[in-house]
Amino acid sequence: MACRICSGRLHRFADFGRQPVSDAFVLPGDTGEEFFFDLAVGVCESCAMVQLLQEVPRERMFHEGYPYLSSGSAVMREHFRSLAGRLLATELAGPDPFIVELGCNDGTMLATIAAAGVRHLGVEPSGGVADLAAARGVRVRKDFFEAATAASILAFDGPADVVYAANTLCHIPYLDSIMKGVATLLRPGGVFVFEDPYLGDILERASFDQIYDEHFYLFSATSVRELARRHGFELVDVERLPVHGGEVRYTLARRGARTPSPAVGELLAAEEAGALAGPQTLRDFAGRVEGIRDRLVDLLTGLRARGAMVYGYGATAKSATVLNYCGIGPGLVSRICDSTPAKQGRLTPGSHIPVRGPEAFAAPYPDYALLFAWNHAEEIMAKETAFRDAGGTWILYVPDVHLV
């Protein structure tokens, strides 16, 4: 197996077995037609990029029925509103600025840009969510971004001041084509800004559910610096973000165009000092993951034996890895409540647990709720205080199995 970035040798360090497409929520009658792949993850011995060993064809993941909505969390809506405001005040403050967002989803971020009257384009292959973006006044192109898309955007709209992507770049195995596209589209002084789950946080919290089909790469400053270098770019800023369980926002500029901020050197030094992607760190991670799996299954099995009712909360893409790796089905978790319309009335992929709306959480409350959307814990627990008031207990499994 060769690295998708540099063709270096990959060292496999964790294996989650046979897994379904994480966002392929299935209709009760269609459970015989699911697609499965082998979910294992490795690190490149040359460029340190952590990546999946098998790729799921992109059309199986991102299509008309892709259910995920960026607007599903109030915290994320505020996160994107604030980022848009910052871009408008800085990179987009010049004459006739232009921003392109890859994976704009339902337009949560670009809606603020559109409202400011600034030229923009969202590139979004998933038709259903792209329609939602268009309905809120965002200009969107239904397409996968890649080198050819960039050339046609450039021909029509001219160069971009900013190319931005949140929780999208790490979804794309073909980064060579993406980086070529960004190099084509960006004006000489422009920036490529992207934010994705941070390898450092994933290893520290043993949040193994961040590993699933859509998360093809787990980035670090070290691996992103090398990715940038190979395409004539330079990593000029990094910012740690608290959202989605810990992310980093990377800013790339053409080599020599900007002076890197001190934060870049600091994060690179911390990754080196902590041997971030070193063999011992990765072995420790794999060991912790097995322990979490065993403790979670023991807990749920014990609760079932005592006749306790357990629901899940948040039918996240992340939950596919937990459910299918741990072998948890409707016998242990009888339903999962989730606010996303396109997930409700369906079954979780592979594990076939019914997904219901949030109103089904209180009807009546279960004894325990397994919080799959642990990255939104504060927001969800604040909304569902009546659950604990009624005697309910939350179960979390990051950074280890515990009750709240």
Q: Which residues bind Zn ion (CB under 5 A)?
A: 3, 5-6, 8, 44, 46-47, 49
Q: Interface mask (CB under 6 A) for ligand TMP, residues 336-365, using x and -?
A: --xxx-----------------x-------
Residue nearest to ligand TMP (CB): 314
Q: With CB under 6 A as the contact rule, which of the stretches 40-48, 151-159, 161-169, 247-255 interacts with ligand SAM?
A: 161-169
Element (H, E) at 296: helix 279-305
Residue from 42, 52, 61, 72 binding ligand TMP (CB under 6 A) = 72
Residue nearest to ligand SAM (CB): 103
Residue from 67, 97, 107, 125 binding ligand SAM (CB under 6 A) = 125
Q: Which one, 10 or 21, has the nearer CB to Zn ion?
A: 10
| The Cα angle at residue 44 between residues 293 and 46, in degrees rounded to 5 | 150
β-pair type (140-141, 119-123)? parallel
d(C-alpha 347, C-alpha 24), whole Å: 9
DSSP conformation class of 343: G
CB 294, min distance to ligand SAM, A: 30
β-pair type (36-44, 50-52)? antiparallel
- Should residue 145 be labelled a site residue for ligand SAM when binding is judged by CB under 6 A? yes
CB 69, min distance to ligand TMP, A: 7
Q: How many CB atoms lie within 10 A of CB 195?
A: 25
- Do 313 and 372 form a contact (C-beta atoms < 8 A)? yes
d(C-alpha 64, C-alpha 233), whole Å: 34
Residue from 41, 162, 163, 172 binding ligand SAM (CB under 6 A) = 172
Instruction: Return the one option of ligand TMP, ligand SAM, Zn ion, none that residue 44 interacts with (CB less than 5 to 8 A, by type).
Output: Zn ion
- Should residue 316 be labelled a site residue for ligand TMP when binding is judged by CB under 6 A? yes
CB 339, min distance to Zn ion, A: 39
Cis, bond preceding 399 (omega within 30 deg of 0): yes
* Residue partners of 108: CB distance under 8 A and separation at least 6: 70, 71, 76, 77, 80
d(C-alpha 366, C-alpha 368), whole Å: 5
Residues 92-111 that bind ligand SAM (CB under 6 A): 102-103, 105
Residue from 373, 395, 398, 401 binding ligand TMP (CB under 6 A) = 373
Closest among 185, 204, 143, 192 to 165, alpha carbons compared: 192
Q: How many CB atoms lie within 10 A of CB 259?
A: 9
Within the chain, what is the greatest distance between any pair of CA atoms? 67
d(C-alpha 404, C-alpha 392), whole Å: 9
Residue from 144, 233, 311, 372 binding ligand SAM (CB under 6 A) = 144
Residue 120 forms beta bridges with which residues?
A: 99
Q: Which one, 83 or 118, has the nearer CB to ligand SAM?
A: 83
Q: With CB under 6 A as the contact rule, which of the stretches 66-74, 151-159, 198-206, 300-308 interacts with ligand SAM?
A: 66-74
- Should residue 70 be labelled a site residue for ligand SAM when binding is judged by CB under 6 A? yes
- Do 378 and 75 form a contact (C-beta atoms < 8 A)? yes
Residues 298-317 that bind ligand SAM (CB under 6 A): none
- Should residue 68 be labelled a site residue for ligand SAM when binding is judged by CB under 6 A? yes
Instruction: Return the one option of Zn ion, ligand SAM, ligand TMP, none that residue 172 interacts with (CB less than 5 to 8 A, by type).
Output: ligand SAM
Element (H, E) at 271: helix 262-273
Binding site for ligand SAM (CB under 6 A): 62, 66, 68, 70, 102-103, 105, 123-126, 129, 144-145, 166-168, 171-172
